[in-house]
Structure 1
């Protein structure tokens, strides 16, 4: 008998002698690597947030947390992978307002039931979206964008990270509130969309700050407004949409951790504790905040589940009013 097997047998015999639950001890969770699905391609805010969190989870769970980028269908392809995995807590999902809330509102058919497919673990944080334009657009604020869009022929276009994403709904909302026609151009993630904005093939883009920050600083895109109720510390001179005269344009993106529906509550709790410790780490928190994310830990998995339901209720009239729908 090898030494590792001797050690394991000794531990189990001691546990049995002490009256401890041997099966639970033998099946400690987690005892192998975890899979962390990010339902967007590399390069966007979801990817940045997911990789920061995965490192922290790995350290606190004592197992590797392996990133898998699975973009497409506004986050639905990656979400489907998690929804159809074994409910054992070994497959995780970086969920968000786009892939979870907006997608289920705009898509009439999904390959899973959003109400039961996932076990909510906890919130990571959120950030108001930033509205930017390519420098070729003659606009330094939303009023000027409104005038430029109304007078454009052909119409200006706006990018989104994908059909059914927060950026898609936000862009549609902007066109409605400005009363101007703009053409939607969907991409497979924030990174590809941002590349075309910088290249001048796209005029308008609305997204979380992190993947746009370096381009804003370089002057390759121009920020017009923060689509939230308060200014962002990283862009203190950029007004909110309310300050710019368009308070109805509100679009925040949130990020959270989920696992497969039906996962045992004790494993969900273990993940929740690891997530809470991760986003409380000063260095990880600093990096998230530097990327424009307000860290917002949940009180419990149940509290986060309530938040998800409330978020869907907030977005439903916005999506309906903006006319975003996918067969």
Structure 2
């Protein structure tokens, strides 16, 4: 008679094939992702982050839930991501202020910027715009210099927070113009912009997106673009170089990060989704309409090199401007 009982080998094979393979057990992502924007709603970070989050959700096949966590120049939100599980499910909208400037001006941070984050890729950047309230009798930087020198008490300038790009840029302006102005920090661009429009703040330097409606409405006045070329959205506003102050250069960049230690294959998955998002014509146009130059990275490794180089560029600027936070 033929023995119909399964052999030991066939039983072992059957058992092995019934177990989930790593590829099937580790499908990523298989649940919603958390996207921390380290600034309050209403500013450029929030605008950029929400556009990118929608694109990522579509391409990853999972909801991307926004969490605004402002404070400490972006350090509070960055800390949330730095201390999350390194599994690719907690993301950070990082930037020149919340990461680069913050680590240069703050003597103590609750995380190590060198290891706390896994760079995924650049989204884009935009030169900051220098604006004043219409009550300030200045239409260019030379006139602002004269007004600031004569002001008693000094003019004040807002920033989205201590340690932000706006803080460093404002301090740089005072140094290059050779004037005294009082720094007034806020918890984000939105609250700062509200006080500029209300006339409680005279000078503000920030990315274009949250300023553009007020510039077009005439509730604030744009004096200069703090970059090497004019902005297509404000073609009549000169650059700081054209205005006679080429040393005033301040651009804000925005990028995607995961928690440090996130597996490389998950970083690559996020990078692919981000690249596809930035290639989407509708999303790209909305970012560009907000004054952003969309600049996707070649790879996560290339973006990591950019982050290191950016810190090296800003370090002497911050030191020269004397920006420091205990």
TM-score by length of 1: 0.94
Match status 1:304 vs 2:303: yes
Map of 1:256 onto structure 2: 255
Match status 1:117 vs 2:122: no
Map of 2:321 onto structure 1: 322
- The whole-number CA distance in structure 2 between the counterparts of 1:20 and 1:186 is 57
Map of 2:69 onto structure 1: 70
2:93 partner SS: strand
- The whole-number CA distance in structure 2 between the counterparts of 1:203 and 1:20 is 66
Match status 1:267 vs 2:273: no
- The whole-number CA distance in structure 1 between the counterparts of 2:124 and 2:203 is 25
Q: CA deviation at 1:20?
A: 11
- The whole-number CA distance in structure 2 between the counterparts of 1:188 and 1:141 is 28
Give every structure 1 segment of 4 or more consecutive aligned residues whose post-TM-superposition deviation is greater than 3 Å.
none
- The whole-number CA distance in structure 1 between the counterparts of 2:220 and 2:102 is 28
Match status 1:42 vs 2:26: no
Map of 1:129 onto structure 2: 128
- The whole-number CA distance in structure 2 between the counterparts of 1:107 and 1:286 is 35
- The whole-number CA distance in structure 2 between the counterparts of 1:188 and 1:325 is 17
2:211 partner SS: helix
Taking the TM superposition and a 5 Å limit, the aligned residue runs for 1:130-209 are 130-209=129-208
- The whole-number CA distance in structure 1 between the counterparts of 2:25 and 2:128 is 46
Map of 1:32 onto structure 2: 31
Instruction: State the Cα deviation string for residues 206-249 of structure 1 (Å, max 9, x = none).
Output: 00000000000000000000000000000000000000000000
Q: CA deviation at 1:98?
A: 0.1
- The whole-number CA distance in structure 1 between the counterparts of 2:207 and 2:325 is 23
Map of 1:108 onto structure 2: 107
- The whole-number CA distance in structure 1 between the counterparts of 2:20 and 2:314 is 46
Taking the TM superposition and a 5 Å limit, the aligned residue runs for 1:211-222 are 211-222=210-221
The more displaced of 20-29 and 242-251 is: 20-29
Instruction: State the Cα deviation string for residues 60-98 of structure 1 (Å, max 9, x = none).
Output: 000000000000000000000000000000000000000
Map of 1:3 onto structure 2: none
> Unaligned regions of 5+ residues in structure 1, if any?
1-12
Instruction: State the Cα deviation string for residues 95-141 of structure 1 (Å, max 9, x = none).
Output: 00000000000000000000000000000000000000000000000
1:250 partner SS: coil
1:40 partner SS: coil
Map of 1:233 onto structure 2: 232
- The whole-number CA distance in structure 2 between the counterparts of 1:288 and 1:217 is 18
Instruction: State the Cα deviation string for residues 171-195 of structure 1 (Å, max 9, x = none).
Output: 0000000000000000000000000
- The whole-number CA distance in structure 2 between the counterparts of 1:21 and 1:310 is 43
**Structural RMSD (CA):** 1.4
1:129 partner SS: strand
- The whole-number CA distance in structure 2 between the counterparts of 1:115 and 1:209 is 29
2:210 partner SS: helix
1:313 partner SS: helix
TM-score by length of 2: 0.94
Instruction: State the Cα deviation string for residues 37-59 of structure 1 (Å, max 9, x = none).
Output: 00000000000000000000000
Instruction: State the Cα deviation string for residues 256-292 of structure 1 (Å, max 9, x = none).
Output: 0000000000000000000000011000000000000
2:112 partner SS: coil
Instruction: State the Cα deviation string for residues 127-177 of structure 1 (Å, max 9, x = none).
Output: 000000000000000000000000000000000000000000000000000
Map of 2:244 onto structure 1: 245
Q: CA deviation at 1:23?
A: 2.1
